[in-house]
Chain A
Amino acid sequence: MTTQLGGPATRALPAPEKKVAPEPRDRSLASQIIKITLLGLVVAIAIWASFPLIENKAWIGLALLAATTAALLYLYLTPRHIPAKYLAPGTLLLIVFQVFPVLYTASTAFTNYGDGHRGTKQEAVVAIQTASVTQVPGSIEYALSVATTGDPATGPLVFLITDPATRAVSAGDAGGLRKLDPADVTVTSAGKVTAADGYTVLTFGQASLRSKEITALAVPVDGGAIRSSGLSRAYEGKAGRVYDAGCDCVRDTTTGKTWTADGKVGAFVGEGGDRLAQGWKVSVGFSNFTRVVTDPDISGPFLRTLVWNFVFAIGSTGGTFVLGMLVAVSLHSKRVRGRNLYRVLLVLPYAMPAFAMLLVWRDMFNKDFGLINTFFGTDVDWLGQPATARIAVLLVQLWLGYPYMFLVTTGALQAIPAELSEASRIDGAGAWQSFRRIVLPLLMVALTPLLISSFAFNFNNFNAIYLTTEGGPFAPDNPANGATDLLITYTYRLAFGGSGAQYGYAAAISIFIFLIVGTISAIAFRRTRQQEEVYA
């Protein structure tokens, strides 16, 4: 957020939360005790949090932790920086759990991060080599026992393998394979070695603790290496593709074909332009952004989608607000009996899990089987025509959202002193007049910011569309963009609907959307300044 808020404390690492009571100016004993206790708690948590950091030598993390703790102590012990005292707890949480994820996500817009390009080059090489290991044709399947010559937890690992045909037992490690004397080993009927002189056979429990070493162990033999397949079988395998650091390429061991690393696209590319599926994440500069601007799939329906997006956001916010306020004002009178019951019943839609109700609504709009057509005796293909589908999603939004506005307005109405409107009535103003002149402006002071945030929320209300119409109906010749698509659902389809998720691209589009909605909200927000100053 801003520099003023927390001073040095605004930088934080994911430490446990810090809750600090504000400092009262009068140094009463009780408040002093509370304050010292809470600060003590902060220090205690910081110390607790530091141990794993020290253990793992995470010095940067430790420095951040120390700096944050020191800043918090300073902040609450000095009489200055009063706003920061109040903002620090929330700001810390905000930075760690919201700002950081958002910035991280935004940064992926400059990469090709997505399916097939999620990890590092190193990981891609490992994946390619692992995926290419196949059993050598005609080779033997061995029964395996994992053993060690030393302590079960730490001693060097040995594979004791049994040839199922001859029942000959060999011991193998990274140095190679050597036969064991049959007299020294005990073999079960299934071919598993249960005991061998000079070796301790590991139980599954013991072996499973050393999983990484077992997976990594390959006993070299002619034509390949013997590897474990689980803990009880071994096979002779050979990597079909190997990475060659010399040419920075992957080579197929049978055909000799090579794929050379291309750092620009994050993939191994063959001579014919074919790519290996396992790629890695690379920086691609602004190409995701230029793609957003130049892609005709985006620019074509963009304007239409944007306009509907505004209609949806404004319609949802406005509709719920008007209805919610109407109901709240209606019930805001001592004369109305059973207000409590009304309120509970009205809040119910909001109390139900929204995703569940979206599914229910979708079904109610069904043309042949839906409750709405059955109930009203109509035969409207609600979700199959652009206009009715739009009405339908707005109606659903109204249903889901107006209890929220009702609650908020009810709360706001309580905060408006009754004398104010009563006084105006004594002055001879009618009920409507006194509402319009006195109550509504005061309501708007409290609620304008909320309306802005509601607008912002609905502008990106992914679930409202995705769980009802999925963006449809779609024109027959354009399956990519539907009549009720919001920018966010459209983005989702573009970025995740094709072959695999393209996070980098999605992040780039999101940044564009963010700029649009952010600008509008910021402009709307400027207007609240006047209101605020009038009543503050």
Chain B
Amino acid sequence: MRIRAAGVAGALTLALLAAGCGGKSDDKGTAATDPSAKAATGELVIWADDKRAAALKPFADKFGTENGVTVKIQAISKDQQTTFVTASQQGSGPDVMVGAHDWIGNLVQNGAIDPVQLSDQQKSGIAGNALKAVTFNGQTYGVPYATENLALIRNTDLAPDSPATIEDLVATGQKLISQKKASEILCLQVGQTGDAYHLYPLYSSAGGYLFGTTANGDYDPKDLGVGTPASVNAFKKIAALGEKGNKTLKRSITSDNSISTFTGKKCAFLVSGPWAITDVKKAGIKYDITPVPPFAGGKPAQPFLGVQTFYVAAKGKNKALAQEFVTNYVTTPDLAVALYQAEPRPPALTAAFDQVKGTDPDLAKWQEAGKNAIPLPAIPEMAAIWDPFGKAEAAVVGGADPAKTIEAAGKTISGSINK
């Protein structure tokens, strides 16, 4: 008994000592990762999510060796935007941040990013809509490298022809179900709390909008489209596709299972983005990519355009180097091509796009599907839309009264915008 006790106590004390001494005798390589160690050369710290961090690594190393600087890539696994803003504010943020363009409004109001000055030549090398997406209050706030938008991915074995309208799609889907070839009409993720991003093409085709635009084309937070009669009408059309309608949209199709339901051949149509293709290919499905079809007689179905962007952190320790990296290195096609190879999204640099489009026929199709796309609103007020709008969608799909639901959502949104 005593021996054992002594053993326990001894082990604990040892652990304790190890912990106490650890502060000093640091031999676990942590010193190498210590951000404030006096580096012999300038240091550039880049934050991205896990996937992009891995893809960026070789290029960052190359930039480092070519220019005699140290480049460190760090991956933030969750809440990238909040973490970036908070860390920047306390002076422990990165020099360069990689993220979606719709963060811009919030990053600007927190003074977390600096504008970049691109030469006219550089600007002309970037796809027009991508450049427009990163332009906020007349300033360019980052360098885009890839775009993404939703499209209709179709299993060509099940549905050889692309549907011209939603109604066509529903008819084909219903036929496949009656032939027992599929169990769902359409895989479009809704979930219990809805998904505004994936619904938007249908919503816009049915005549709804989120924010109006000012004279110069910027989004106008004072002109809220949710809760207007147009949005009520749009939601009536969506309700007809819902669980009490023809069951094209279902809450049981979620972000977790929409792609796997498609790859499991339970539905012939999937509304998703370039990220879904890896899985579709892995499952060995013959597919085609076409624009999301509109309602018959409706407006065109506009997906949102998302632009992956490199930002220069305003409170970075090495802004000159960060500017150099973002404006003069990210704008070269090599990097964009490599990032494309890590993840097949259309490059935003036209030179890079042209370079890879020959090997990947999908790219042109994504671009075609994104022809009508409108940039995701980057204004901070957009944050107030996602949640209530998604919930309204879920409720309407579940059979709730469209008018009452969308008006309540509009009230909630304008309430939180005006606070």
Mark A residues whose CB is within 8 Å of B: 16-19, 21, 34, 41, 44-45, 48, 115-116, 118-119, 123-124, 126-127, 130-135, 141, 203-205, 207-212, 214-215, 227-233, 235, 237, 277-279, 297, 359, 362-363, 366-370, 381, 383-384, 469-470, 472-480, 493, 497-501
Contacts and interface: CB of A to CB of B under 8 A. Distances in A.
B256 A362 contact: yes
Given A115-B106, A123-B111, A478-B408, 7 more contacts: A118-B111, A127-B314, A131-B111, A205-B67, A233-B327, A477-B404, A479-B391
A205 B68 contact: yes
Contact of A469 (B108, B111, B192, B253): B192
Contact of B116 (A127, A229, A231): A229
A493 B388 CA distance: 10
Interface string B377-413: 0001111100110011011101011001100110010
User: Which of A233, A469, A474, A497 lies at the interface centre, i.e. has the most chain B CB atoms within 10 A of its CB?
Assistant: A474
Contacts of A384: 192, 251, 398
Contact of A474 (B82, B114, B256, B391): B391
- What's the interface size class on B, roughly? 35 or more
B192 A19 contact: no
B34 to A, nearest CB: 13
B69 A204 contact: yes
B250 interface: yes
Nearest to A385: B398
Contacts of A126: 111
Nearest to B391: A479
B119 interface: yes
A229 B111 contact: no
B10 to A, nearest CB: 11
B401 A476 contact: yes
B398 A498 contact: no
A477 B138 CA distance: 38
Contact of B412 (A130, A279, A473, A479): A479
B384 A208 contact: no
Given A16-B23, A131-B108, A499-B380, A208 B318 contact: yes
B74 interface: no
A479 B387 contact: yes
A135 B321 contact: no
8 contacts: A119-B111, A134-B139, A208-B321, A228-B323, A472-B193, A474-B391, A499-B381, A499-B382
Contact of B20 (A17, A207, A208, A493): A17
A208 B21 CA distance: 35
Contact of B328 (A19, A233, A473, A474): A233
B328 A277 contact: no
B42 A233 contact: no
Interface string B308-329: 0000001001111101111110
Please give me the 7 A-B residue pairs with the lowest Cβ-Cβ distance, nearest first.
A208-B42, A127-B111, A205-B68, A230-B324, A498-B416, A476-B400, A204-B67
Given A476-B404, A479-B391, A207 B320 contact: yes
Interface stretch (B11-19, B202-210, B292-300, B363-371): B11-19
Given A116-B110, A230-B320, A233-B327, A367 B252 contact: yes
A476 B405 contact: yes
Contacts of A368: 250, 252-253
Q: Is the interface of A mostly helix, strand, loop or mixed?
A: mixed
B361 interface: no
Contact of B417 (A124, A277, A297, A498): A498
Nearest to B9: A21
Contacts of B327: 229-230, 233
Contacts of B108: 127, 131, 277-278
Given A16-B20, A229-B117, A477-B405, A369 B392 contact: no
A182 B119 CA distance: 25
B270 interface: no
Given A118-B85, A124-B111, A498-B419, A230 B318 contact: no
Contact of B320 (A21, A123, A131, A228): A228
B320 A215 contact: yes
B211 to A, nearest CB: 12
B44 A229 contact: no
Contacts of B284: none
Contacts of A501: 82
Nearest to A227: B117
B376 to A, nearest CB: 15
Interface in B39-62: 41-44
Contacts of B318: 208, 211
Nearest to B389: A479
Contacts of B328: 230, 232-233
A125 to B, nearest CB: 10
A215 B319 contact: yes
